Structure 1
Amino acid sequence: MTSTPATAPAPPQVFPPTLREVMLRPRWIALLAFSLVVAGALAWLGQWQLGRAVDTSPPEPGQTEVVRPLDDVVQPGDYLPEPLVGQRVEVSGTWVASDFIVVSSRFNDDVEGYWVTGQLRVAGAAEPTSIAVATGWTSDPAQADAAAAQLQAEVEADPSAVVEVTGRLISDEGPSVPPAGADPQTLVKMSPAMLLGRWHDTTGLDVYRQYIASQTAIGPLDAISSPAPDERSRVNWLNIFYAAEWAVFAGFALYLWYRLARDAWEKEVEDLEDEQFEGEQPRPLAAEPAESRD
């Protein structure tokens, strides 16, 4: 009677966890809560940005064409809000005789020319205050220099004469470098900051960051062509783009949590499969009968 050799018991089968089981573990629940807080903060930023993308109270059409006192629009040293760029203003004051300066690369109806600018010392200010004024335009550089000299002579003859200036209030164009080979003193941008560096008697002086483009020619010059600014769109597309970016970032915060949890699950499944493979022992071959070896 032959006995059947005992077979080794099969190793217990281990089932890997599901992705849902991994995600429900305390560690990943805590990380999910953190991701939701981050996504909520980013979504709030997107909503905040979107709320500023649409101007719910735009200025009335033609508001820039109503002449307003300069002090009612902006104060010395302050930046000009965008809705007020091109606003027509009026101001009175006296010219500083030695500060009529020519600025080149100025266009009147697509014709390149020159502006003659001056320093207007504002009347009635508590402290000495000045604003740059573009007095007029010409296409001839020699005529621009002659006009600056004539204006200087007129002011020197009556330095206390008060003048009224009405024009558009425009923001500083920023500093610039003169063209190669040109006089280092050449100005190609209307920049009160650069003009201030060439003005005289500036100790303790308050200066407006903006300048006025006079709407009537002062001296032997042509009037500056300065049409009304285009009406602003009520929709700021750049803010809408930023709002969309915040929404993408919020979604990415949640996707990152999902991706990390899935990677952890896949690694755990791979580790279990490797352990099972290493635990399996190959079966020994059965011994052949002695008769078969003869």
Structure 2
Amino acid sequence: MYRFLLTPRWWGINVLALLAIPFCIFMGSWQLSRFDARVQDHRKATEQVTSDRKEPAQPLEKLLPVDKRTSGMQATATGRYGKQLLVPDRQLDGRTGYYVLTLLRTTGTGKALPVVRGWLPGSADPAKAPAPPSGEVTVTGALQASETPGDNGVSARGGLPPGQTAAISAASLVNLVPYGVYDAWITLDKGDSGMKAVPATAPPGSGLDLKAFQNLGYTGEWFVFAGFVVFMWFRLVRREVEAARDAELGLVPEEQETAAAV
């Protein structure tokens, strides 16, 4: 009954199925390993951010450029506060508010360091944002890499009113001041002027972002493909067996329809 499996046509089908099934399983396992690696990266980055808060602060220049190792480490810089901006649509403790971002022109280099002095609830309102301290100040906070839309929920929307920015990055701030801007920023350990301190976040690329869940989705797709190959192989075998039985009974297509109706 199953001798047809040894025919040249079925040899091709069998070989194709035998190659496709392990390939799909391999690809699904690989995508799952990529998701697991991102989970581990996120866990390590979160632990590092927490542990870095206990380490003594280091001069800003020693921690640049920001990478996965230095992100979240305590940095210190001295300078004078200048231009102030608001960063809307930022979540903290389940509430929506905005960051108060002030550029600190550092002593020595003259470059501007974006400093998140704190978070306030509600819609971005310049009248509610406390003015920065005057004179020379020394700030200490967690070092962070420049943001890009999509990182840690950063909005990509444009058309913001003057005095606001969607992302904290040198690319978006460099045109606002006549001097250079560091490709990094810090968030103060203690919120300035009664504002709530913004906790440091894991560096970009080490969190459970869209790419991580894409890996998880691809994992399911590859395993579904493997199951589909098995399903189609058994279905083709079943149809071949039924056709062989019908041939043994001498049924022609018209007779098959009659037998089915009965």
Indicate the TM-score class for this superposition, using the shorter chain for normalisation. 0.5 to 0.7
Pick which of 169-178 and 29-38 moved more: 169-178
Is the contact made by 1:91 and 1:122 (CA closer than 8 Å) also made in structure 2? no
Within-5 A mapping of 1:60-99? 60=47, 62-67=50-55, 75=65, 87-92=72-77, 94=79, 97=82, 99=83
**Partner residue, 1:290:** none
CA apart distance, 1:90: 0.9
Does residue 23 (structure 1) correspond to residue 5 (structure 2)? The answer is yes
Q: Is the 8 A contact 1:166 1:215 kept in 2?
A: yes
Q: Which residue of 2 aligns with 1:224?
A: 196
Q: CA 1:105 to 1:250, structure 2 compared with 1: closer, same or farther past 3 Å? A: closer
Instruction: Tell me how many residue pairs correspond in the alignment.
Output: 229
Q: Which residue of 2 aligns with 1:132?
A: 114
- The structural deviation recorded for 1:66 is 3.4
The partner residue of 1:50 within 32, 51, 74 is 32
Q: Percent identity?
A: 22
Q: Is the 8 A contact 1:102 1:117 kept in 2?
A: yes
* Distance (whole Å) between structure 2 residues aligned to residue 269 and residue 72 of structure 1: 80
Q: TM-score, normalised by structure 1?
A: 0.55
Q: Residues 245 and 143 from structure 1, CA distance in 2 versus in 1: closer, same or farther, beyond 3 angstroms?
A: closer
Distance of 2:235 and 2:52 partners within structure 1? 54
SS of the aligned residue for 1:224 comes to: coil
The residue number in structure 2 matching 1:273 is: 251
Q: Name the CA distance, whole Å, in 1 between partners of 2:81 and 2:172.
A: 13
Higher share in helix: 2
- Give me the whole-angstrom Cα distance separating, in 2, the residues matched to 1:110 and 1:44: 40
Q: CA 1:227–1:245 in 2, change beyond 3 Å: closer, same or farther?
A: same
Secondary structure in structure 1 of the residue aligned to 2:9: helix
List alignment gaps of at least 5 residues for structure 2: 256-262
Going from structure 1 to structure 2, the CA distance change for 1:51 and 1:189 (only over 3 Å counts) comes to same
Larger radius of gyration: 1
Cα deviation, residue 123, structure 1:
7.4
Residues 21-70 of structure 1: per-residue CA shift (max 9 Å, x gap): 22221211222112221211111122223334276685358435334656
Structure 1 segments unaligned to the other structure (5+ residues): 1-17, 156-160, 278-294
Cα RMSD (Å) of the superposition?
4.7
Aligned position for 1:11: none
Partner of 1:38: 20
CA drift of 1:110 comes to: 7.2
TM-score of the two chains, using structure 2 as the length reference: 0.60
Q: Tell me what 1:166 maps to.
A: 141
- One-letter code aligned to 1:24: L
Distance of 1:247 and 1:253 partners within structure 2 = 10
2:232 — aligned with what?
A: 256
Query: Given the alignment of the two structures, is residue 184 of structure 1 paired with residue 169 of structure 2, yes or no?
Result: no
In the alignment, the residues of structure 2 paired with residue 228 and residue 89 of structure 1 have an alpha-carbon distance, to the nearest angstrom, of 10
